[in-house]
Structure 1
């Protein structure tokens, strides 16, 4: 684990039950600066690396992502402190919305006779 200041940027990558990946970049325990979503973890990581936010990233979770980003490893519980459960809830709700959006997009592509 690494010690980071609470205003340092922290990346948390979360896998939805649907197989989508959601990445949230935090600046402090209660401020999300960006959210990235993709079906592929590799593509998600590449988008983040090309982002201007990447330069100030200091820590990430899980460790596999932190290693790929060349930043320190810190758990969400350690960085987010009291807000952990509300962040998990937010990400779960986002995952649910992604699935709904995908279903509606699939329905838009159906041809009716």
Structure 2
């Protein structure tokens, strides 16, 4: 996966461009808020980003690219692995040690 390398995203070009209406964004936001209020619900990357903002601390999610069943059969890609930074907070007000979380197949 060379998406992080300089120029690594050029091969995708316009294929990665997504245009969403304000109504679609509002529906998705309402869904994320609803999920966050449910006990034992599986959270999404937006929830991790919100936690990084609230904690004023970087969060690193380590996970394999694909979730697998107990027999090793691929089930679904894991999209929320990565680095989440508290961009809305001034750097001097943030903790400099990241919170590192590991996700294992459930």
- TM-score bracket for the superposition, by shorter chain length: under 0.3
Q: TM (normalized to structure 2)?
A: 0.24
Structure having the larger proportion of residues in helix: 1
Q: TM (normalized to structure 1)?
A: 0.23
Structure with higher Rg: it is 2
Structure having the larger proportion of residues in strand: 1
